[in-house]
Amino acid sequence: MRKTFDFSRGWRYKVAFSEEMLGEDYDDSSFESVDLPHTNKELPFNYFDDRDYQFISCYRKKLDIKKVGDRTVLINFEGIMTYAELFVNGMPAGKKAGGYTDFLCDITGFLHDGENVLAVKVDSRERPDIPPFGGVIDYLTYGGIYREAQLIYVSGAARITDLFCRAEVSDKCVLKVDVKLENADGATVSAAVYDGGRLLRRASVKAENGKALISIAELEVERWDINNPKLYKIRVKAGQDNVSTRFGFREISFTEKGFFLNGRQIKLRGLNRHQSYAYAGYAMPKNAQVLDADILKKELALNVVRTSHYPQSRHFLDRCDEIGLLVVSEIPGWQHIGDAAWKDLAVQNVADMVIRDRNRPSVILWSIRINESDDDHDFYTRTNELCRQLDPTRPTTGVRWRPDSESLEDVHGMNDFMPAEDELCIRPQKLLTGLSYEKPYLVTEYMGHMFPTKIYDNEERLVKHALRHAEIVDAIAGDADKAGGIGWCAFDYNTHREFGTNDKICYHGVCDMFRNPKYAAYVYASQADAAEKLVMEPATIWAFGEKNIGGVAPLVVFSNCDYILLKVEGQETVKILPDRERFPNLPHPPFILYEMRGFWGETWKDAILEGYVAGGIAAEKRLLCSPLPDKLELILSNTEIPVNDVVRIAARATDAAGSTMKFLHDTLHIYVKGAKLVGPSEVVLQGGVYAFYVRSTKKATVSVVVSSGRFKENKVSFNVV
């Protein structure tokens, strides 16, 4: 029998470290009580010292075990940044260098019946001996035990240590399950496939030399696809142990013509994601991770995400599996390659990432070069070979920015940064690979530092930022030599002094750090099928005085409607069509009205935009020429969450027509009863919007009140169950 318990609650934490803290009898009553995920230091939104979280700290927790017996006891930490040593009852039980994959430790031998003490020394400094460190990097890694932990009991001698599923996909699929085991030679190992609770088929073999390969043939199953992310459960048993994983049956291939899923070509359209959040750093529980995946797939209509630049949370990837968002998963690193021992760790990171995530249908590519590093033939031959050996079912890729770099991977990954002014927005692959032939090729980044843009920048800049995204996505969609493009990036992020604005933020997202959309987000969102999600977002504040020289034109609207009517009071109705001339390849090009009547100081009027689909009116939006604050809208992500999770609450100041009051930078006061607010309780609207997370600590009905001088108090509530 295997029993897994969440081990995330009730830790003791100290922002300091001394060796005696690791002892069994150490008095930790002066420690703080914390739950995991935990960030070692809450940072302000911006303007902080990026060395503030780089220190050694200590976490302790008691573990009561009535009788250890002959069970195996394991503890798993899903992510500790950056280096950790675990002590059990004062004895060293294991260590882990690197913060992005599991630290699994067998602690059986250190336990005794009754009360045991676990202590973790956590070194969150940027240690040059551990990837991604050694040079400067354009992101923060924060610190602490920033993901969840589990305690696992396994009865009996046999133990399953790994399972890897792969399938030959046809009308009757064959599933192969590679099982790794300990103390199980001669024992029967069985694998079963379930559709929900229904058993489809089962097969078994005898374990030999710590291994078992089980084949299950004649499986009639649905394909996992981005539109139908059908998941099955695979359950493996050996002796008293059992382990389950989810799996999806699907076929992928990359050719020089592009990417194919189940035989169908799909142009990859995506954004890069950092797993960081304002205030909380990396330490966000399940629901925040789930919501990010949902934003990418459901709000921004993307089909792929790159987990730049490291393996990301299990919850994020689980959600990608569930909703059909494809994933390019990457090892930790940023431009710098260290010495031999550093490279060994990077190679270990490849193994840890692939072994952790190779049963996931959403993962289509392993990115196994250090992002944007120079060539290193031997090193990258090693990472490629290991990756192909651990997972022959997926291609490798590697991300570079230099042209003519050695292409050892199956798919050539290229960050193609062209200045926003340049007419050419994306380059032909041969020009960048330096090869005489075409190979599978993916644009892994574009935009980013070419055009940083804040959510509260002026309209001209925000629109230019958005249109540049549109131009690039359009160009990639039209280029047969590219499997697709993944832009830089989804969300603004905190960074080091060497990169962002001097406030420690890279404003490179199509959304801000709180996941609120800039206009560029609607370039992506509007590519959705109108039947699934209708989008009509005017990229304007509808004023004569916002742009240089005055006037509203060009008026840009991001929409998936067929056409739009603009009705300005006292003027003739204008029909606007998607600009297919400028954007011939986008499913839904922006609508641009290049000329309009009206100028600075002239009489200014309200307008109505009507969006039409299949001849009928599908969307309507009023634009007010003299808007006044009307409402503070609060949108709650969930009405029910478990203990130790979060809800996201998005706040938006609107006028009477529901448009965002972009320049209303009023203060918001947030009062939370029954749970914990992540971040400060007094904040300002940025670009008329804000969002915050509330973390549940106990079962309760939680009420959240937001007040601001200009608006009525606004209240939402949710249940913690």
Under the binding rule (CB under 6 A), the answer on residue 310 touching ligand GAL is no
Would you give the binding string for ligand GAL spanning residues 114-153, x where CB under 6 A is met? Answer: ------------------------x---------------
CA distance 243 to 71: 16
CA distance 275 to 284: 9
Q: How far is the CB of 495 from ligand GAL (least distance, A)?
A: 8
Say which DSSP state 448 is in. Answer: G
Which of 312, 415, 526, 540 is close enough to bind ligand GAL by CB under 6 A? 415
Concatenating the DSSP letter of every residue in 103-156 gives: EEEE-GGG--SEEEEEEEEEE-S--TTSTT-SS--SS----EE-S-EEEEEE-S
- How many residues touch ligand GAL under the rule CB under 6 A: the total is 11
Q: How far is the CB of 317 from ligand GAL (least distance, A)?
A: 20
Which of 211, 449, 582, 710 is close enough to bind ligand GAL by CB under 6 A? 449
Closest CA to 387 of 375, 399, 398: 398
Under the binding rule (CB under 6 A), the answer on residue 89 touching ligand GAL is no
CB nearer to ligand GAL: pick between 318 and 416? 416
CB nearer to ligand GAL: pick between 330 and 391? 330
CB nearer to ligand GAL: pick between 189 and 271? 271
Active site residue 372: yes
Residue 288 DSSP SS3: helix
Question: Could you tell me the sign of the dihedral formed by the alpha carbons of 15, 20, 21, 26, in that order?
Answer: negative
Under the binding rule (CB under 6 A), the answer on residue 401 touching ligand GAL is yes
CB nearer to ligand GAL: pick between 243 and 418? 418
CB nearer to ligand GAL: pick between 101 and 272? 272
Place of tokens 């249109």: 467
Residue 414 token pair: 């290229």
Under the binding rule (CB under 6 A), the answer on residue 416 touching ligand GAL is no
Closest CA to 300 of 487, 73, 109: 487
Q: How far is the CB of 444 from ligand GAL (least distance, A)?
A: 8
Under the binding rule (CB under 6 A), the answer on residue 448 touching ligand GAL is yes
Catalytic, out of 372, 409, 471, 537: 372
Concatenating the DSSP letter of every residue in 601-643 gives: TS----EEEEEEETTEEEEEEEE-SS----EEEEEES-SEE-T
Which span sits near ligand GAL by CB under 6 A: 17-25, 285-293, 444-452, 713-721? 444-452
Active site residue 546: no
Q: How far is the CB of 625 from ligand GAL (least distance, A)?
A: 37
Would you give the binding string for ligand GAL spanning residues 324-363, x where CB under 6 A is met? Answer: ----------------------------------------
Contact between 289 and 283 under an 8 Å Cβ cutoff? The reply is no
CA distance 159 to 157: 6
Q: How far is the CB of 269 from ligand GAL (least distance, A)?
A: 18
User: How far, CA to CA in Å, does 359 sit from each of 190, 222, 249, 320, 429?
Assistant: 17, 16, 10, 13, 31
Question: Could you tell me the sign of the dihedral formed by the alpha carbons of 98, 101, 107, 113, in that order?
Answer: positive
Region 490-529 residues binding ligand GAL, contact defined as CB under 6 A: 508
CA distance 231 to 664: 45
Q: How far is the CB of 566 from ligand GAL (least distance, A)?
A: 35
Q: How far is the CB of 662 from ligand GAL (least distance, A)?
A: 25
Binding site for ligand GAL (CB under 6 A): 138, 308, 371-372, 401, 415, 445, 448-449, 488, 508
Report the catalytic residues.
372, 445
